[in-house]
Amino acid sequence: KAGVTQTPRYLIKTRGQQVTLSCSPISGHRSVSWYQQTPGQGLQFLFEYFSETQRNKGNFPGRFSGRQFSNSRSEMNVSTLELGDSALYLCASSPGLATQETQYFGPGTRLLVL
Amino acid sequence: AQTVTQSQPEMSVQEAETVTLSCTYDTSESNYYLFWYKQPPSRQMILVIRQEAYKQQNATENRFSVNFQKAAKSFSLKISDSQLGDTAMYFCAFMINQGGKLIFGQGTELSVKP
């Protein structure tokens, strides 16, 4: 089975721009979670989608949004980029069912905001 | 609020020796999952081992095993016969049932020396 894929792998943007990141889960997985990783804050949960519905949300401003499509692929959008949004963005997929919660991670998208 | 604490920011071990990484967590939930992930320099997050809180038996995966002490809220990882490829950042993580949200510790950077 192919693993979780994320595109693009690297991205450079300037302050005020917006960005969209994409995540394709493992085949058959219906849950996609997004995380932000920075040296200062570590790994922080952004949100989780299951069957096209946001099931859980972290403590991030409304500039961070996401969605999930019927094929379970997910996108994450960040509007009005700030310097502090520079980070590694990881997505993870899982079956999303009770007792099948183990998350498998993609390689990440490294975002640099200038 | 659930929290995960890894008190050892850095550790080193000689090749072929055994090392134990510590993790404590805080929660009022009774059903949850615990995980150890490793993140090598490539930044790819890789699942090492998982433990269900309702299982008393400690999980093992080849050279990796855990010491799960539910009452003490402790979840340490033991790596036996350490190999150079074990060099990585190790994260302890916690998830409640069907939350889709992993809560991570700050990580322990492990160096395996030849």
Q: Do A104 and B47 touch (CB under 8 A)?
A: yes
Of the candidates B35, B37, B97, which has its C-beta nearest A98's C-beta?
B97
Select the residue of A88, A101, A107 nearest B95 (Cβ to Cβ): A101
- The one-digit pLDDT tens for each residue of chain B (114 residues) are 789 999 999 999 999 999 999 999 999 888 899 999 999 999 999 999 999 998 889 999 999 999 999 999 999 999 999 999 999 999 999 998 666 899 999 999 999 999
Q: In chain A, which residue's Cα lies nearest the Cα of B106?
A: A42
The pLDDT assigned to A112 comes to 98
Cβ–Cβ < 8 Å for A111, A87: yes
Give the helix ranges, DSSP H, for chain A.
Answer: none
Instruction: Pick the residue from chain A with its C-alpha nearest to B96.
Output: A101
User: Does residue B32 sit in helix, strand or coil?
Assistant: strand
Q: Closest to A103 (Cβ–Cβ): which among B43, B97, B102?
A: B102
Cβ distance A98 to B98 less than 8 Å, yes or no, reads yes
Smallest CA–CA separation between A37 and chain B, in Å?
A: 10
Bridge partners, residue B60, by sequence:
B65
Say what the alpha-carbon torsion angle B98, B101, B103, B104 is, to the nearest 10 degrees.
120
Residue B47, CA atoms < 13 Å, CB-side half-sphere: 19
B50:A102 CB<8 A: yes
Residues of A with CB under 8 A from a CB of B: 31, 33, 35, 42-43, 45, 48, 50, 55-56, 58, 88, 90, 92, 94, 96-99, 101-105, 107-108, 110
A15-48 pLDDT, tens per residue?
999 999 999 999 999 999 999 999 999 999 999 9
CA–CA gap between residue B62 and residue B76 (Å, rounded): 16
Task: Tell if the CB–CB gap between B101 and A104 is shorter than 8 Å.
Answer: no
Quick check: helix, strand or coil at residue B26? strand
**Considering only alpha carbons, which residue of chain A is nearest residue B102?**
A45
**Tokens encoding A73:** 């692929």
